[in-house]
């Protein structure tokens, strides 16, 4: 547990970059994230959440929040912060867990506020959540908002000096069937928004079945490249590969004038054998026996 003591505590001066969490600390965090997601689901106001697609995001969010994003949890409105958008709004619990560990609000709120009336942690993100940039839940909207923020950040940087803020949007593969996603992709490339990074959680499952059975997206990466994006494909559960992909994507010299797309191949329900690659765990609740079995798997 020594690595736990080296994790960022959320108290950074504006303008600073988070102390990068080492690989061992990130591996430990991923186990804690998965445990919290199971606990949060059991304490949810409806005793349910969208566990499958939340578990597939864990490594991506651990690296983003503890290695990549410039944030000041004590000042969520800090003007120089990176903008993080969870366009995949059904997986809000995964973002809440990452934000709690990062220090945006007490971790106890995960277990007494999620999906409860008038709380700061609704099942779909709203603006009552400290650090939330946009409300999400209607799929396909996040990349458009991200493109607007990236354009605005670049415009402000040109007027005031300094680098533009980075904008990081996490999308589902499912919302890449939405026309608005591709309109945003086209506009981002047209305006040369190289401060915009989109990460697609490509877990290959829609709520109604395997993605290419529901709607063919292949050749998925080639489509983004044809729209003018710099594309990298990565195993979304391989922490060193995710770190390298995200650190490379945020460097201005990586692909000047091009927005960046990380196509992260993941497993829906990752870490819990009876949930993995299952359509049935897009959403659901855990029985007492299922909870104990899942907890034993994610904590071993």
What does the pLDDT look like over 186-238, one tens digit per residue?
999 999 999 999 999 999 988 888 888 899 999 999 999 999 999 999 999 99
Confidence of residue 251 (pLDDT cuts 50, 70, 90): very high
User: Would you tell me how many other CB atoms lie within 10 Å of the CB of residue 85?
Assistant: 25
In the chain, pLDDT over 70 holds for what percent of residues?
93
Instruction: With a cut of 60, say whether residue 278 has pLDDT above it.
Output: yes
| CA-closest candidate to residue 243, choices 253, 259, 232, 257 | 232
| Listed range (156-165, 255-264, 277-286) with the worst mean pLDDT | 277-286
Separation of first and last alpha carbons in the chain: 14
Total structural domains within the chain? 1
Task: Report the distance separating Cα 99 and Cα 101, nearest Å.
Answer: 5
Instruction: With a cut of 60, say whether residue 2 has pLDDT above it.
Output: no
Task: Report the distance separating Cα 182 and Cα 218, nearest Å.
Answer: 14
Pairing state between β 167-172 and 83-86 = parallel
User: Would you tell me how many other CB atoms lie within 10 Å of the CB of residue 207?
Assistant: 14
- The mean pLDDT of 233-256, rounded to a whole number, is 96
Instruction: With a cut of 90, say whether residue 113 has pLDDT above it.
Output: yes
Task: Report the distance separating Cα 213 and Cα 215, nearest Å.
Answer: 6
Q: Given this model, what pLDDT does residue 222 score?
A: 98
Q: Report pLDDT digits (tens) over 61-106.
A: 999 999 999 999 999 999 999 999 999 999 999 999 999 999 999 9
Confidence of residue 12 (pLDDT cuts 50, 70, 90): very low
- Residues with Cβ within 8 Å of residue 9, at least 6 apart in sequence: 103
Instruction: Please list, residue by residue across 156-186, b when 16 or more beta carbons sit within 10 angstroms of its beta carbon and e when fewer do.
Output: eeeeeeeebbbbbbbbbbbbbbbeebbebbe
CATH number at residue 207: 3.40.50.970
162: left (phi over 0), alpha (psi -120 to 50) or beta: left
What is the domain range of residue 212?
2-298
Confidence of residue 6 (pLDDT cuts 50, 70, 90): very low
Q: Given this model, what pLDDT does residue 9 score?
A: 43
Q: Given this model, what pLDDT does residue 219 score?
A: 95
**36-41 contact pairs (CB < 8 A, 24+):** 36/97, 36/100, 36/107, 36/110, 37/93, 37/94, 37/97, 38/286, 38/291, 38/294, 38/295, 38/298, 39/110, 39/111, 40/93, 40/96, 40/97, 40/110, 40/111, 40/114, 41/93, 41/285, 41/286
Confidence of residue 14 (pLDDT cuts 50, 70, 90): very low
| CA-closest candidate to residue 205, choices 65, 88, 85 | 88
Task: Report the distance separating Cα 215 and Cα 202, nearest Å.
Answer: 13
Q: What rounded mean pLDDT belongs to the chain?
A: 90
């Amino acid at each position: 547990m020594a690595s736990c003591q080296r994790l960022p505590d959320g108290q950074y001066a504006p303008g600073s970059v988070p102390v990068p969490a080492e690989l061992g600390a990130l591996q430990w965090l991923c186990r804690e994230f998965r445990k919290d997601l199971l606990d949060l689901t059991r304490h949810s106001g409806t005793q349910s959440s969208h566990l499958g697609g939340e578990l597939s995001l864990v490594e991506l969010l651990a690296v983003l929040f503890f290695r990549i994003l410039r944030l000041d949890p004590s000042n969520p409105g800090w003007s120089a912060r990176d903008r993080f958008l969870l366009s995949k709004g059904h997986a809000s619990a995964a973002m809440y867990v990452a934000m709690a560990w990062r220090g945006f609000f007490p971790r106890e709120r995960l277990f007494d506020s999620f999906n409860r009336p008038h709380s700061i942690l609704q099942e779909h993100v709203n603006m009552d959540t400290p650090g939330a940039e946009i409300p999400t839940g209607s799929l396909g909207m996040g990349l458009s908002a991200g493109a607007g923020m990236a354009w605005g950040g670049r415009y402000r940087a040109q007027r005031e000096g300094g680098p533009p803020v980075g904008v990081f949007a996490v999308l589902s593969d499912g919302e890449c069937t939405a026309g608005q996603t591709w309109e945003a992709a086209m506009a981002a490339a047209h305006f040369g928004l190289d401060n915009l990074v989109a990460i697609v959680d490509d877990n290959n499952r829609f709520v109604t079945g395997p993605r290419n059975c529901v709607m063919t997206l292949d050749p998925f990466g080639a489509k983004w490249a044809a729209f003018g994006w710099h594309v990298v494909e990565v195993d979304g559960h391989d922490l060193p590969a995710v770190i390298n992909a995200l650190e490379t994507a945020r460097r201005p010299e990586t692909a000047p004038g091009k927005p960046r797309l990380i196509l992260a191949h993941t497993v829906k329900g990752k870490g819990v054998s009876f949930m993995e690659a299952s359509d049935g765990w897009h959403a659901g609740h855990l029985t007492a026996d299922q909870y104990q079995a899942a907890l034993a798997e994610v904590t071993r």
